[in-house]
Amino acid sequence: MPDTHELYMPLSELQVIGVPGIPEVATGVNLGTLIAQSIGKAGLEVKDKDILVVAQKIVSKAEGQVLDLADVEPSPLAHRWATTHGKDARLVEIVLRESRRLLRMERGLLIVETWHGFVCANARVDTSNTPRGKVTLLPKDSDSSAAQIRQEMEREFGVQLAVIVSDTFGRPWREGLVNVALGVAGMQPFVDYRGQMDGFGRKLQVTRIAVADELASTAELVMGKTKGVPVALIRGMAYPPGEGHGRQILRSSERDLFR
């Protein structure tokens, strides 16, 4: 019986740092520059191979993915659902417009597949941390958003980075929400164990760990929802290198047993 557990293992240690002082984000702002300024003002630095996690909310705001409820004309379906469940018909209408498939319409909940492929409640059309009368939508292409922030930040700091655009999703079977990765740049979203052996020389059953999602969850711990910290740095992680994408995490309908 091989005793890999007894081998000397180097100490692995991560740091997770919330970036304070990010101002309210206006449409059209260069998010990379804005984040770089906040990092500088806070006396923080960015190191080679850091992972920058950015909350979807500020990405959507910077990209103008903000709608004015007053401009929305609800469809008959949106009206009926809103009336039955005490919702704002304009909000329901936006959810329907952002969807390509409705998985569940039950107990006032709308679980949808968005046109980007995310499965989530209300297509993550969100009114929180947004001025009254406005809602944010998900970024049009979160992978492109991550790539753009990465490019701006790498130019700013002269180092190699990975960037994750994160958001807060519910899930079946378990209460509470967790942060997941919508967009990824500068790393692979998975650590792939396929074909690797465990300490007993047996092929591992667990195949792929969605580390991009785990990194998004990690960053949430220093972000919170009311602290105004929409950006975090994760340092010390030997993340899987390469040009991966958040869309790789989306399971296709054909491979899914719960759609």
Site membership for a second copy, residue 69 (CB under 8 A): no
Site membership for a second copy, residue 42 (CB under 8 A): yes
Contact 183, 53 (CB under 8 A): no
**What letter does residue 100 receive in the DSSP assignment?**
E
Q: Give the C-alpha distances (Å, rounded to integers) separating 94 from 78, 84, 108, 127, 173.
A: 9, 17, 15, 12, 27
Which of 31, 92, 93, 190 is close enough to bind a second copy by CB under 8 A?
190
Which of 108, 199, 241, 242 is close enough to bind a second copy by CB under 8 A?
199
Site membership for a second copy, residue 250 (CB under 8 A): yes
Toward a second copy, which CB reaches closer, 44 or 151? 44
Toward a second copy, which CB reaches closer, 64 or 224? 224
d(CA 38, CA 159) in angstroms, rounded, equals 17
DSSP E strands: which ranges in 26-98?
50-55, 66-68
Which of 56, 60, 65, 168 is close enough to bind a second copy by CB under 8 A?
168
Toward a second copy, which CB reaches closer, 73 or 200? 200
Give the three-class secondary structure for 240. coil
Take residue 115 and report the two structure tokens written for it: 């046109």
Q: Rounded to the nearest whole angstrom, what is the least distance from the CB of residue 75 to a second copy in the complex?
A: 22
Q: Which stretch binds a second copy (CB under 8 A): 93-101, 142-150, 158-166, 174-182?
A: 174-182
Q: Give the C-alpha distances (Å, rounded to integers) separating 188 from 81, 150, 154, 242.
A: 40, 14, 18, 6
Q: Rounded to the nearest whole angstrom, what is the least distance from the CB of residue 78 to a second copy in the complex?
A: 18
Taking the mean position of all CA atoms in its chain, how far away is CA 113? 16
Site membership for a second copy, residue 224 (CB under 8 A): yes
Site membership for a second copy, residue 176 (CB under 8 A): yes
Within 10 angstroms of residue 88's Cβ, the number of other Cβ atoms is 15
Q: Rounded to the nearest whole angstrom, what is the least distance from the CB of residue 13 to a second copy in the complex?
A: 5
Toward a second copy, which CB reaches closer, 73 or 255? 255
Footprint (CB under 8 A) of a second copy, residues 84-143: 104, 106-107, 109, 111, 119, 126-132
Give the three-class secondary structure for 93. helix
Footprint (CB under 8 A) of a second copy, residues 21-40: 21-24
Site membership for a second copy, residue 251 (CB under 8 A): yes
Q: Which stretch binds a second copy (CB under 8 A): 80-88, 94-102, 155-163, 227-235?
A: 227-235
Site membership for a second copy, residue 54 (CB under 8 A): no
Site membership for a second copy, residue 6 (CB under 8 A): yes
Strands 191-192 and 161-169: unpaired
Number of residues that bind a second copy (CB under 8 A): 91
**What letter does residue 236 receive in the DSSP assignment?**
S
Q: What is the dihedral of CA 225, 231, 236, 240, to 10 degrees?
A: 100
Sign, CA dihedral 68-74-80-83, equals: positive
d(CA 198, CA 68) in angstroms, rounded, equals 54
